[in-house]
């Protein structure tokens, strides 16, 4: 298993990036924003061209953070006190020690490629052993998988020098120590020490096609779920040590998941498909929302409220932990890619066209 200690600021500064710091412009709040998060004190939004902005007054005023890259920032999450993490295109992982005011590059695309290289090499060794020991009827299938893995090794080797061209898509921390990063083409990183070092764990997932991984959540009981492209659903009941692939009734992509306040789990994605589990993800039941708009992001409150948002202005609200939903009318036809419930009960949305607020629906 290969691990990597995050680049120190001096190392990052000495690297010749073909990237410039993000430009601070008021138009950022009207552009493409991809994710939103809050910790009860501060709200953060992230988006295109390296824009990260924060608000300490429930979104009334926004301040630009200092960001060292101009890449699209795809997700943001709070971890330990005053520590925040964000993912970006080209395999970049960013870190803030001052609750999102200033940022530094923690991993580059070359770093992530190096991590993946070790993981792929381990998989090749295991596959080669399996091929040598396989029965003739099983050997051909394993050889195909081995060939694909060798091709992935060539790509990762090239990316160590040139950097990744694919994005990281999600960062999430269960606490100050345990964190995960998900990305395109099956990138899956894990830390157990608060991000000081990272391990590439993609070879431990049942994801032979290297489908994109979009979201991760944890239930009240501690079950972890990872959702992704082409119906990918992976579950761990031991804090990510072992992952099991779970079959669901839908083979289209799942873009998000929510852990509801009552302990149930929800997954959702293309064509408005929503599924709910009340047994830690072992079985799933379709939820008829009466809506077929693609769903991109969701959040849940401790009172059982759930909000799921997506394309064509979709904002769906549940007050019974996802057992049923109603559509909240919105103006226009915007695509919403992120949502949070602010401490004052407002639903805050981000997407194409910046930030939007839905007021007074949670407690009605």
pLDDT digits 0-9 by tens, 239-279: 999 999 999 889 999 999 999 999 999 999 999 999 999 99
The β-bridge partners of 78 are 84
Residue 289 confidence (pLDDT): 96
- C-beta separation of 17 from 50 below 8 A: no
Residue 12 confidence (pLDDT): 43
The mean pLDDT of 54-65, rounded to a whole number, is 96
Is the model more confident about 192 or about 119? 192
Residue 121 confidence (pLDDT): 81
Residue 165 confidence (pLDDT): 81
Q: Is the pLDDT of residue 228 over 70?
A: yes
Residue 9 confidence (pLDDT): 42
Residue 13 confidence (pLDDT): 44
CA distances for 254 relative to 219, 246, 269, 270, 321, angstroms: 17, 13, 4, 7, 19
Residue 157 confidence (pLDDT): 82
- 106-110, 119-123, 240-244: lowest mean pLDDT where? 119-123
Residue 359 confidence (pLDDT): 67
- C-beta separation of 338 from 351 below 8 A: yes
Say whether 237 sits in a helix, a strand or coil. Answer: coil
pTM exceeding the 0.85 threshold for the entire prediction: yes
- Enter the DSSP assignment of 13: H
- C-beta separation of 83 from 163 below 8 A: no
Q: Is the pLDDT of residue 6 over 80?
A: no
Residue 161 confidence (pLDDT): 79
Residue 209 confidence (pLDDT): 84
Where helices occur in 71-135 by DSSP H, the ranges are 109-133
Q: Is the pLDDT of residue 34 over 80?
A: yes
Element (H, E) at 359: none
For the chain, what is the mean pLDDT?
Answer: 90
The mean pLDDT of 54-63, rounded to a whole number, is 96
The mean pLDDT of 20-29, rounded to a whole number, is 94
pLDDT band at 142 (very low <50, low <70, confident <90, very high): confident
The mean pLDDT of 9-28, rounded to a whole number, is 67
Q: CA-to-CA distance for 225 and 157, rounded, in angstroms?
A: 30
What are the pLDDT digits (tens) for 316-331? 999 999 999 999 999 8
Say whether 352 sits in a helix, a strand or coil. Answer: strand
Q: Is the pLDDT of residue 80 over 60?
A: yes
Q: CA-to-CA distance for 74 and 114, rounded, in angstroms?
A: 21
Q: Is the pLDDT of residue 159 over 80?
A: no
Torsion over CA of 345, 351, 354 and 359, rounded to 10 degrees? -20
pLDDT band at 18 (very low <50, low <70, confident <90, very high): very low
The b/e string for 200-209 (b: 16+ C-beta within 10 A; e otherwise) is bbbbbbebee
Residue 122 confidence (pLDDT): 80
Q: Is the pLDDT of residue 120 over 70?
A: yes
pLDDT band at 360 (very low <50, low <70, confident <90, very high): low
Q: What is the DSSP string of 123-168?
A: HHHHHHHHHHHS-HHHHHHHHHHHHHHHHHHHHHHHHHHH---SPE
Residue 22 confidence (pLDDT): 95
% of residues, the chain, pLDDT over 90: 71
Q: CA-to-CA distance for 148 and 131, rounded, in angstroms?
A: 14
Torsion over CA of 295, 299, 302 and 305, rounded to 10 degrees? -40
Q: Is the pLDDT of residue 76 over 70?
A: yes
Q: Is the pLDDT of residue 224 over 90?
A: yes
Residue 263 confidence (pLDDT): 95
Residue 326 confidence (pLDDT): 96
The mean pLDDT of 81-103, rounded to a whole number, is 97
Residue with tokens 């699209």: 72
């Amino acid at each position: 298993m290969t691990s990597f200690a995050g680049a120190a600021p001096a190392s990052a500064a000495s690297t010749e990036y073909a990237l410039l710091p993000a430009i601070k412009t008021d138009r950022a709040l009207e552009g493409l924003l991809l994710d939103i998060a809050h910790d009860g004190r501060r709200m953060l939004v992230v988006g295109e061209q390296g824009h990260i902005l924060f608000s300490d007054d429930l979104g009334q005023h926004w301040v630009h953070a200092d960001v060292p890259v101009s890449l699209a920032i795809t997700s943001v999450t709070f971890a330990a006190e005053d520590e925040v993490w964000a993912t970006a295109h080209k395999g970049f992982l960013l870190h803030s020690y001052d609750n999102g005011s200033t940022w530094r590059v923690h991993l580059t695309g070359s770093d992530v490629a190096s991590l993946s290289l070790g993981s792929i090499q381990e998989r090749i060794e295991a596959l080669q052993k399996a091929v040598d020991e396989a029965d003739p009827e099983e050997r051909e299938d394993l050889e195909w998988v081995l060939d694909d893995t060798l091709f992935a090794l060539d790509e990762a080797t090239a990316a160590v020098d040139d950097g990744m061209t694919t994005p990281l898509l999600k960062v999430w921390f269960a606490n100050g120590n345990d964190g995960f990063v998900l990305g395109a083409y099956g990138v899956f990183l894990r830390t157990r020490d608060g991000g000081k070092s990272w391990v590439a764990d993609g070879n431990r997932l049942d994801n032979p096609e290297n489908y994109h991984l979009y979201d991760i959540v944890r239930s009240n009981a501690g079950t972890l779920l990872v959702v992704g492209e082409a119906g990918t659903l992976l579950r761990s009941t031991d804090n990510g040590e072992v992952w099991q692939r779970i079959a669901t009734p839908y083979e289209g992509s799942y873009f998000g998941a929510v852990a509801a306040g009552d302990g149930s789990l929800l997954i959702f994605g293309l064509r408005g498909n929503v599924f709910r589990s009340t047994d830690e993800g072992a079985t799933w039941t379709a939820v008829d929302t009466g809506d077929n708009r693609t769903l991109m992001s969701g959040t849940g409150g401790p009172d059982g409220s759930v909000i799921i948002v997506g394309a064509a202005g979709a904002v769906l609200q549940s007050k019974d932990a996802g057992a049923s939903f109603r559509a909240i009318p919105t103006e226009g036809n915007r695509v919403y890619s992120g949502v949070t419930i602010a401490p004052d009960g407002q639903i805050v949305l981000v997407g194409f066209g910046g930030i939007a607020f839905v007021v007074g629906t949670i407690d009605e």
